[in-house]
Structure 1
Amino acid sequence: MKKLTTFVTIVATALAGSVAAQDKPEQIVVANTGGPYLQAVLDATGKAFEEKTGIEVLGDGPQTLPQLQQMVQANRVTWDVVEVPPVFTMRYCGELFQELPADLQNYDNVLPGFANKCGINIAGYANIMLYNTKVFPDGGPQNWSEFFDTEKFPGKRGLWDGAEGVNLEIALMADGVAPEDLYPLDLDRAFAKLDTIRDDIVFWRSGAQSTQMMESEEVDMMMAWSSRAYPALKNGAPFEPVWNQHIIYNNVLTIPMGVPYPEVSADFIRTAMEPAQQARVSELYPVTPGLIGAEPELDEAGEKVFAGTKERAESAVVPNIQWVADNSEEINRRWTEWLNN
């Protein structure tokens, strides 16, 4: 009887191990904005996770909210971890994104104002002004008021085609609103100010397009994400960043509803939050680490657009993400009306 019991125990243990092995995926898919940033994440965090777990990490991008909505509604979610703007998780927590494990909801050393129960800071950037040094060899605009001054600084201005970024905030600062008084946003005042430069705006619709604009010198000045300014400067684009009234932003890592292995997704996020991985990703592509205290070693172009220095972080404008999330429907409606008028 003892031998039979032992045999049953051995078989049960083996089966349990087999089930555990079956429950472990061979690979997971991480989605973000794509391009060289996605490759940096795969080369840094992806390889570190593979070494720890034996699970291959694949990438996909650019990710979009409509794609994710379709996946969740069809119960065919192929993204195991997704990096998104924080407003998405604030708006769709529990609907498109599941709540993170408790340890990932209680990080003390991340910038406040971006994380919530369904997302944790992972990488940031600054929305910065840059000007073409060939066009303005003696110095270009140094604040948003001068960016909107078409007489003093004539030329084409590049702006992102979207309302939930920073266009409304920079328009209000250009109109004299102090950063600490931006919220609640005065939408009428913001759109009235945007009207003053409308004929001089060239819109970009992806980070890659903003990089190309600088490299081709299609615009004379622009608002761009610091991380997307990096490859342009690296490739010799004659643009100079202005570190004044820059608006800092952090994306968050999330777990979509309906992923087959949520525990594995959470483990990937834990790896991504390690200081070594945060620094390494920034070295490969100069996003600002979401983790306070990570210290990447950067090249010259990276240092020019890195938002994580103490001085630049302290002087940054921090958006009220929750207000934007709560008012996104009205903001987007007004933006669409403005564009189509």
Structure 2
Amino acid sequence: MTDLIRLNRRLLLGTALAAPFVARPALAAGEVIVRTPGGTYDDVMRKYVYEPFTRETGITVRPVAATSAKLLAMFRAGNVELDLIDTGAGQLLTLDRMGALAPIAYDKWRWTKPEDISPELKSANRVSNFVYCTVLGYSKEAFPNGAPDSWAQFWDAGKFPGPRMLGDMASGSAHLEFALLADGVPKDKLYPLDVERALRVMDRIRPQIRRFWDTGALSAQMLSDKEVVAGSIWNGRLQVLIDRGAPLAYTWNEHMIQVQAMGIFKDARNVAGAQLLADYMLQAEVQAKYARDLIYGPTNTKSFPLMTEEERARAPGGPRSTQTGFYQNNEWWEDNRDRVNRQWSRWVQK
């Protein structure tokens, strides 16, 4: 009798241990290491992507910080320490051209339909997970009778006086596009950028530039602390301040739409897990949630109907945004970055 009880206990224990694998045959093991921008971004993605993905697949997600230089160094040294790269589209394009990225497994996606991702926001080895934009932000207190509503007006320091800011090359790219818009170049004629002309236009506003910012945090701090009255700033950074009650605002006119994208190191330790995570992250329902909290725009066209009218109205890449803004040309920037870096360095040190 005792032996029978022991046998039954062993059978019951074996069944209990095996049950999760029987109920969830697709459960996978392992970890996906993701390069991310960090900070609040990680908090939002953990809530809407990483933790639900782990519950669904059994794969844990570990976000890490890594600069562009570190990503390049990893690949060149043949010592890839992460799997999925979540970064600016320009940086990812550089890695793609070096042959560092694996093809995106669109044909194996099970959560997201590839055709739902805007065609201009995906390629063989890269796929965009959100869009953001750089807007002309300003202090409502500094301009109670009307603020600058275009880059030409931003350049008019006589009519709209006060210290200003613009982005430095260290922010990702110098804001040469805004200089050319201020000089009368139409949005659809910006590229290829006339760098020499843009720098001549920059000469006119430089006495009013308090600082060329290199991080989103610095641009937000300068506006919040009233160090400047107007300047270029990422929409998400500014919207957070506005939502907290800061007397700030921005115009949608002539904003620059920019792209965040994902790629997978072809020599990654967990290519399969990274492919699954990219697929999971791009679902319409998932994108609508993290785009709302990050105040950015989704790349899945089916996400917009899931957002409120207010959320759609302030989403970069949405109907309103594409009518009044323009997409930054990442290919041009990556083709010319070294040259522009040299020209910018000489100009900014004059």
- Contact 1:125 / 1:307 at 8 angstroms: preserved in 2? yes
2:145 is the counterpart of 1:142: no
**Could you tell me which residue of structure 1 aligns to residue 255 of structure 2?**
246
**Could you tell me which residue of structure 2 aligns to residue 9 of structure 1?**
none
2:132 is the counterpart of 1:125: yes
1:60-82: CA deviation from partner (whole Å, max 9, x where unpaired) = 23x31111122223443332212
When residues 336 and 257 of structure 1 are mapped into structure 2, their CA distance, relative to the original with a 3 A threshold, is farther
Gaps of 5+ in 2: 1-17
Aligned positions of 1:83-232 closer than 5 A: 83-93=86-96, 94-103=98-107, 107-162=114-169, 165=173, 167-201=175-209, 202-232=211-241
- Per the TM alignment, residue 244 of structure 1 is displaced from its structure 2 partner at its CA by 0.3
- Contact 1:124 / 1:290 at 8 angstroms: preserved in 2? yes
Aligned positions of 1:1-341 closer than 5 A: 24-25=29-30, 27-61=31-65, 63-93=66-96, 94-103=98-107, 107-162=114-169, 165=173, 167-201=175-209, 202-295=211-304, 297=307, 305-341=314-350
198-207 vs 258-267, greater mean Cα deviation: 198-207
**Could you tell me which residue of structure 1 aligns to residue 4 of structure 2?**
none
- Per the TM alignment, residue 112 of structure 1 is displaced from its structure 2 partner at its CA by 4.6
**Would you say how many aligned residue pairs link Structure 1 and Structure 2?**
321
Q: TM-score, normalised by structure 2?
A: 0.83
When residues 157 and 304 of structure 1 are mapped into structure 2, their CA distance, relative to the original with a 3 A threshold, is farther
- Contact 2:121 / 2:299 at 8 angstroms: preserved in 1? no
1:290 and 1:159 mapped to 2: Cα distance? Answer: 27
1:273 and 1:195 mapped to 2: Cα distance? Answer: 43
Gaps of 5+ in 1: 1-13
- Per the TM alignment, residue 321 of structure 1 is displaced from its structure 2 partner at its CA by 2.1
1:170 and 1:110 mapped to 2: Cα distance? Answer: 28
2:222 and 2:33 mapped to 1: Cα distance? Answer: 30
2:158 and 2:42 mapped to 1: Cα distance? Answer: 40
- Per the TM alignment, residue 186 of structure 1 is displaced from its structure 2 partner at its CA by 0.7
- Contact 1:250 / 1:290 at 8 angstroms: preserved in 2? no
- Per the TM alignment, residue 140 of structure 1 is displaced from its structure 2 partner at its CA by 0.9
1:309 and 1:259 mapped to 2: Cα distance? Answer: 34
2:344 and 2:123 mapped to 1: Cα distance? Answer: 26
1:247 and 1:91 mapped to 2: Cα distance? Answer: 21
